Every structure is written in C-alpha cells, then in structure tokens.
Chain A
Amino acid sequence: MTEIKKYPTELLKCWNEGKNLRKSYYDDYLRAHEKGGIRWAGGAWTFSSIPAGLGEDVYCITGEPYGATIAFFKDFAAQCHDAVEAAGFPRTLCAYMRNYWGAILLDKHVLTDGTVVEGAPIPDFIWQDHICCSHGKWYQVVKWLEKKKGKDVPMYCVDVSVGYAGPNEKIEDYKVNYIIQQLNDGIDWLEKVTGREYNDKLLCDAVWNEIKATSLWAEICSLNKAIPAPLDEKSMYSLYVMATLIKHRPECVAFYETLRDEVKDRANRGIAATPYERFRVITDTQPPWGFLKVFREMEKYGVVSLGSLYTFGLIGMWEFKSDGTWAPKTLPEKKPQTREEALRAIVEWTLHKPEWAHFYRPELKTQMMKEIVDQWKVNAVLLHYNRGCEGLSVHIAENRLGLLDAGIPVFPFEGNMGDEREFDFAGTMARLTAFFESMGLKKLKE
C-alpha cells in the first residue's frame, strides 16, 4: 500500500491580526458618526481611494463582502431573501444585492460574529462604479429604499465599462480619459455633498496604497505555486477580503506585507495549508458562502484548492510578462504627486483588473486560467456556475470549453454564493467525489 505523504502544517501567525482588522473595519463604519466621521457605501471594486481625499475619518462599507457576510449566516440571509421577495423583487437577482437590500428592508445589521443588531446604518453618500448590470442599479435601489424611509442619500457612480486590453494591447487614451473625467467630476461632487475640502495629498497616498496592496496580494498568491501550497483557498477568502474592504488604506498594505513575509517563510520551510496535499485544484467565482465545508470535505481526498482566478484576481493585479508568464503587476515607477497623476495612475492600473477581462472576451479569462493551471501545477478546475452572480458567471460556459480544449479536467457545479436555497450540498458532494474518483483519488483514512 502506498504511503500518503504528510506535510507539516502550522496556523497562520497573522490570522488574528487579519480578523481584528476586519472587525475594526465594520465597527468603524457602524460608529463613524459617534467618532465625528462620515461613512459611505459602494462596491468592492469602486475607486475607494477617491473618497479618501475627504479626510482620515472617512469610513466605508463595501456591498459584496457585506452581502457575503450575510450569506455566511444563513438564517439572517433567509430573512433578507424573504423581505426582498415580499417587496416584489425577483429571486433571480444578484444574491449579494438581495442580502444587502434585505438588511435595509428589515432595518437590521449583522456583525462579523453573526450578531444581528437593530438599525441598518445609513451611509452619508454612495460612491459606486459600474461594469456589471447590477452595480449601478444595486445602489440606485438602496437610494430608493432609503428615500422611502425619509433619508435622501446622494449617489455617484462611475462607468468603467470601456473594455479590456489584451496582454499586449494598450488601453486607448479616450477610454482612460472618460473615466478620469468622471472621477474629476466625482471629486467636485464629493466636496459638494460633504461640505469638506478635498485633500489631494490624501488622494495620492490612498492611490499608492491601493496599487501596492493589490500588487502585494498577487505576490502572496504567487507563493502558492510551492508544493505543498502554503495557503488553501478557504483561508485565502479571509485574507483577500481585506483588499475588498480597505485596499486604499495603509493598514491593508502593512497587513499584506506581514502576510507576504509569513507565506514566503512557510513556502521556504515546506509548511502546508493541508497535511495530505496530493491533488491540486483551483475553483472559479465566489463559493457558496454558507457551505465552505466543501473545502474540508475535499481535504479528505487529499485535494487542496490553492486559489482561483477569483481569489487571485478579484482584487490582485497581474500581468503577462514578456516571457508569457502571468505574474504580479509591476508597480508604476513612482508614487503620484498630483491629483491628475493620481487619477491617471489608478485608472490605468484598475483597467487591467483580471476579473474584468471576461466581461468582454472570454478567451482572455481562459488564457489566465490556463496559465494558473500551468504555473501553479494544478490538476483540475472546479467551475462554480454561480446563479448568484451574473457578473462573474458571464461566459463561464465558454471558459469551460476553453479549458477542456486544453486538456484540463473540469468539474462544473451549480450553486449560489449567497442564497442557500440554490445549492445542493449533498448532491454536489456526491458528484464531486465521483469526479475525484475518476481522477484516481480515494478517500484518505481518518
């Protein structure tokens, strides 16, 4: 009988630091007014470094991570879904969005430990961007719902749907300028709705933080090429999320520097995320947040998910190098010093976001996934056909075909990141274990 190799494992030393950072983030938003500060709401992809120019006491809540937090607490999520459907919205809409609206309709707020408190905090303004059909509409409805409760929340939304440049293509100036113009208008708008004077120095700092944080996260993900993988995807979800919350903050940069150093050390010492790694997979799109135990079940087969284009590239910034490899995006030569430089830098940087490619050309996403498979020595891809997110499921069937064409084993499964009614845990596990068995894997002995 073949001996299964057991790798050494260790808990992440900076785990609690990340946990506390997340807790502070939500506390800060909730108590922003008590501190004399202001708070805004918007998506995880929004240009969060722009409102940072309003001062150091500006706090935000990003919709998708909050929607995912609700999804994790399935009882509260179910209440949110009921409230949204009772209000007349279809149950087929984005699940994060429905969770978020549901909390407003119920006038409740969930804390990171699952405690549900009365009173959904109302933002002072909405600062959003729009690439998926739901982005701008999400907050348009938030504004509408708040208005029905008597609060007029100003909203600004930046259109970023200008296309995606291929690996060796340059984004045309008129596309970059279109977004810069909107951001310039947005800064005037922010001054008007908050009555605050805008600080360009804070903007430049925030932009530089964002650029560094999103490149650092890519660097951390690169370290997962090591065998055994020093991080597993289930843990990465708790780590990448920092850049979906505060990518523009120095705390995010500092945390990722600490994490990068620790993961590098783990890779050098052969410390594994899971002890019996023998089959490496990646997933795609958001997981069904209420069912993360899927990953633990996979470990029983010696399977480790070491990431995905989603965890690597939702926030992490990458590029194809001249030798064709896919690697962390090189930082600009210098930190921006003026508003104009800062806006151009952040727009040019953001337009290369890997998770924006598939909105236009599925081949580009397939190409990136194939690179991950090659460079990270991946054995198979688990594609989550996610009914909860149109944006990240767009063209997913084309990605499946592209991966199969390349000879990569693919396991598609259907689910929903935020609505447990649309994920069949038992059925999915039955099919998944059959897939693993078809790959020659047997369940490890307990």
Chain B
Amino acid sequence: MVEEAFETFREWIDNRHKYAKAWKERTGNKIVGYFCTYVPEEILYATNILPVRILGSHEPPTVTEPYIFAMFCHLCRDCLAQGLKGKFDYLDGIVEGQSCLHLRQAFNAWRLHIPIDYTHWIHVPHGIQTPHAVPFLTQELAKFKRSLEKWTGKKITNEDLDRGIKILNRNRELMRRVYEYRKLDNPKITGLEVMEMVLSSQMTDKEEHSKLLEQLLRELPNRKLNRNLGVRLMIIGSEDDDRLFMKNVEDLGATFVIDEHCTGSRYLWDDVVPSEDRLLAIATRYIHRVPCPSKDWPKFTRIQHAVNLAKQFKAQGALVIQNKFCDPHGIEVPPLRESLKDIGVPTYPLEFDVTVPWGQFRTRVEAFLETLTGLEELF
C-alpha cells in the first residue's frame, strides 16, 4: 500500500491536468489556479472551489519573451508559459497572494493575455513582523470572500469557512506526520517521495489526498527502505519542484531528510488555529506561518526556523538552492549558510534554472558529499 500511495502521488503530478478536468467533470465545480502559497486555500475550499497551484514544466519558456523580461526567474516565466500553451485551459479563475515581484508578472500577464473568467489579487502584506499585518490581511481576506461570493453567487457562511479550515488543517497535519518519519535514523521515505507527496497536495482535492495519506500512515511504520541512507541532507531555498534533481542526488548516496521549500515543509508547517472570527484566524496563520524570505525582515526568522529543522532532522549537510534571479532567496544565501555552519551543518550553493545542468551538478554534489563522508570513505 505504501508503494501504491507514492505511485498515486506521482501519477497525480504527471497527469495533473487530466485529474483536474475529471474532477471538474465529476463535481461540476470551479477550479482556480494560484501561483504562490500565500493564497488562503481555506476560503476557496469553503466555496467548493478546487485551488490548484500553477507550476512550470521545466521546458524552456520561450513563449513568454514578449510578456516577461527574461531577467525574472524561470518559475514565473515557466508558469506563464503553461497558460499561454493552454495547459490550464480548464481554470475558471486565477488568484494570487502577494509575494515576490516575479510571480506577480505571471499573474498579470495571465490576466491580460489569457481569457479567464475571474481574477483576484490579495495584498498579503510584506510587513509580517509588524503587529498591524494581521488586521490588514483580515480586511483583504474579507474583500476576497466578497469577491468570491459575487462571482459564484453563493454566500460563504462560517460553517463553510470551518469546513475549509478543517480540510486544510487535516491535510497539513497528515503530511507533518509523514515528515516525522524522516527524523528516524533510517528514514522511511526519500526526499523525492516527500516532494511528490506535497506537490500532489497542491494539485488535487485535499480530501482525496488526505484519505490516501491516512492509508499511507497506517502502513508507513512498517516500511523498510531498500536503499542505503547515505548522507542525511537538507535542501533549502527557492521554489523547487525539480523531481529529477532530487532523484539524481539521492542516487548518489544521500537522502534528503528535510527541506525548507514552499513545495515542502514551508507549505504545511503551520495550521489555522480556529477562532470565532474565521477570517482573522486564517489571516493569523498566513502572517505567522514560516515566511517566504521576501516578507522576512528585519529579523531573519526563516533562517532560525531552518536551523531548527536541520537540528531536529539531524541533517549532516545542506544544499542551498537559488532559482536564478530569485532575489529574496539570493539575498539570504550568505546569512543562511553562516547560520547553518554555526551549528556544524556544511552547505553547498547551487543556482537553478528551468533545467539544471546535471553533468556539472553531479560532479559538484558528489564532491560535496565526499567532504561530508570523510576521507576514509575515499580509500
């Protein structure tokens, strides 16, 4: 069953568009695409709308040249390319929660050039360390809720919001339980499998995803991975859904035991704590969640979180990745590396593009792994 579950996660990713179209056909409900994990999916679930994250295909996004200056990151260009190519033709709307300058261009170019019924931009504040951010976002969420009500013609009640909160919290909690098995001396899952679990949760109906997670968790304690653990690695940095890279690194004699990505732990680390004012509760979660570096100032709270993760999951080394042109993550590379070094976790930086030059990366990663395993491994 465990293998079947991971196979299903993989299949959902590989056939994400087929899945979404079938879901729409089956339910008759709307599907909304989003770019950044700052979009509060709880409110979309409350409206019986399926939120799906728009991600790229890792093919050169040449069709975006007229719309986005190529010095912006490959993710935003690759996302837009999917829209321009019609891959997301089943979407009824797009929503974005304000994050970096890059993704907003994908959102706006989509809004301007791809026919779509509904668009909405949420001004998720950047000043998440100010106490005024939560009330501000609460107002923004109220506006978002009204906008959805107008679009769908359906009132969103407190019960609806409770349901949305419950669906999201449940899914996050189950995935965090899977993460616990990465802490073991012999983790029961690989980094690739975890990435596929989280990615698929961003593309599918979370209730269905959670059912599969429940089945997985029943049998995961008995699983034995038929592979060498190798070096316990952490991977941290910009948005990363490069599954091939994960597989290739783990094939070199390593296991990713923890990540700090928005396609990984950052997506699921924090829950909504229910309260009478549902929108306030949701806003609190999105302000106080593990932040994207674009919002994390003046203190480096994410770096401290990453340090804690490295300790808890006993990482021996970390690959620090930055998507080329991703300023928020690029800016944090030296402070992050220094903080991990201070706790005895060596790091190695890699710059990602739409495709990664695995030939070069292999040599570099192998050399890094050798430095972690010690000289005795070499002779």
Contacts and interface: CB of A to CB of B under 8 A. Distances in A.
B364 to A, nearest CB: 15
A312 to B, nearest CB: 22
B108 A161 contact: no
B136 A174 contact: yes
Given A136-B298, A137-B297, A90 B136 contact: no
Nearest to B300: A140
Interface residues of B, number: 47
A398 B126 contact: no
Interface string B84-125: 000000000000001011101100110010000000010101
Interface stretch (A16-24, A58-66, A357-365): A357-365
Contacts of A397: 65-69
Contacts, number: 137
Interface in A163-179: 163, 172, 174-175, 178
B100 A401 contact: no
B130 interface: yes
Interface string A108-122: 000000000000000
Nearest to A394: B101
A286 to B, nearest CB: 14
Given A90-B322, A130-B127, A398-B112, A161 B71 contact: no
Contacts of B335: 141, 144
Interface in A122-175: 126, 130-134, 136-141, 143-144, 155-159, 161-163, 172, 174-175
Nearest to A390: B101
B132 A93 contact: no
B136 A93 contact: no
B336 to A, nearest CB: 10
Contacts of B67: 397-398, 401
B324 interface: yes
Nearest to B109: A398
Contacts of A87: 334
A159 B68 contact: no
A92 B108 contact: no
B261 interface: no
B297 A140 contact: yes
A94 B327 contact: yes
B125 A92 contact: no
B130 A159 contact: yes
Interface string B305-336: 00000000000000000101101101111110
Most chain B beta-carbon contacts within 10 A, residue among A130, A133, A360, A387: A133
A88 B123 contact: no
A393 B69 contact: yes
Nearest to A92: B325
Contact of A159 (B66, B101, B126, B334): B126
Contacts of A362: 108, 112
A130 B101 contact: no
Given A360-B121, A396-B69, A397-B67, A137 B126 contact: no
A161 B66 contact: no
A38 B127 CA distance: 26
B105 A89 contact: no
Nearest to A162: B123
A88 B127 contact: no
Contact of A361 (B108, B133, B293, B322): B108
B102 to A, nearest CB: 8
Contacts of A90: 322, 324, 330, 333, 351
Contact of A161 (B109, B125, B322, B333): B125
A182 B327 contact: no
B297 A161 contact: no
Pairs A-B, 10 closest by C-beta atoms: A159-B127, A136-B297, A88-B334, A90-B330, A155-B298, A178-B136, A137-B331, A140-B297, A181-B132, A174-B139
Given A159-B130, A174-B135, A385-B69, 9 more contacts: A88-B334, A161-B125, A163-B123, A359-B101, A387-B71, A395-B105, A397-B66, A397-B68, A398-B67
Interface of A: 87-90, 92-94, 126, 130-134, 136-141, 143-144, 155-159, 161-163, 172, 174-175, 178, 181-182, 185, 359-363, 385, 387, 390-391, 393-398, 400-401
15 contacts: A90-B324, A130-B127, A134-B327, A137-B293, A137-B297, A138-B331, A141-B331, A155-B298, A159-B130, A162-B125, A178-B135, A360-B104, A362-B108, A390-B71, A398-B109
